[in-house]
Amino acid sequence: MKIVVLDGYTLNPGDISWEPFHALGELVTYEYTAPSEVFERLEGVSVCLTNKTCFPREVLDKLPDLRYIGCLSTGFNVVDVEYCHEHGIVVTNIPEYATFATAQMTIALLLEIASSVGHHSELVHQGVWTRGRDFCFWDRPLMELWGKTLGLFGYGKIASRVACIASALGMKVLACRRSEITEEMRRSNPQVTFVDEETLWRESDVLSFHCPLTPATTGLVKADTIARMKDGVILLNTSRGPVLDEAAVAAALASGKIAALGADVVSVEPIREGNPLLTAPNTFLTPHIAWAPKDTRIRLMDVAAGNLAAFLSGAPVNVVS
Is 176 found in the same domain as 120?
yes
Residues 209 and 77 in one domain: no
CATH number of residue 58's parent domain? 3.40.50.720
What 3-state DSSP class applies to 190?
Answer: coil
Half-sphere exposure (CA, 13 Å, Cβ side) for 169? 21
Residue 59, domain member (yes or no): yes
Residue 145 forms part of a structural domain:
yes
Q: Is residue 318 part of a domain?
A: no
Sheet (strand 2-5) strand order = 26-29, 2-5, 47-50, 68-71, 90-92
Judgement on whether residues 134 and 86 belong to the same structural domain of the protein: no
Give yes or no: residues 230 and 299 share one domain: no
- One domain for residues 221 and 174: yes
User: Residue 319: inside a domain, yes or no?
Assistant: no
Residue 158 shares a structural domain with residue 271: yes
pLDDT of the residue at 184: 81
Question: What pLDDT, on a 0 to 100 scale, did the predictor assign at position 77?
Answer: 87
Report the predicted TM-score, pTM, of the whole model to 2 decimal places.
Answer: 0.92
**Pairwise CA distance, residues 199 & 106, whole Å:** 22
> Does 180 share its domain with 222?
yes
Range of the domain at 300: 2-97+294-312
In a domain, 320, yes or no: no
Give the per-residue pLDDT at 189: 82
| CA atoms of 45 and 66, how far apart (whole Å) | 6
Split into its structural domains, the chain has a count of: 2
Q: What pLDDT is stored for residue 148 in this prediction?
A: 98
Write down the pLDDT at residue 178.
Answer: 82
Give the other-Cβ count within 10 Å of 88's Cβ: 8
pLDDT for the residue 133: 94
Q: Kindly state whether residue 36 falls inside one of the protein's structural domains.
A: yes
Domain-located, residue 321: no
Q: Are residues 205 and 299 in the same domain?
A: no
Q: How far apart are CA 275 and CA 190, in angstroms?
A: 39
Do 89 and 118 fall within a single domain? no
> Please, are residues 259 and 140 in contact by the beta-carbon 8 Å criterion?
no
DSSP letters for 273-294: TT-GGGSSTTEEE--S-TT-SH
Which sequence positions are flagged as catalytic? 240, 269, 288
In a domain, 221, yes or no: yes
Task: Note the pLDDT of residue 181.
Answer: 82
Query: Are 72 and 91 in the same domain?
Result: yes
Residues 65 and 37 occupy one common structural domain: yes
Are residues 105 and 40 located together in one domain of the fold? no
Per-residue pLDDT of the chain (321 residues; tens, 9 = 90+): 999 999 999 999 999 999 999 999 999 999 999 999 999 999 999 999 999 999 999 999 999 999 999 999 998 989 999 999 999 999 999 998 999 999 999 999 999 999 999 999 999 999 999 999 999 999 999 999 999 999 999 999 999 999 999 999 999 999 999 888 888 888 888 899 999 999 999 999 999 999 988 899 999 999 999 999 999 999 999 999 999 999 999 999 999 999 999 999 999 999 999 999 999 999 999 999 999 999 999 999 999 999 999 999 999 999 999
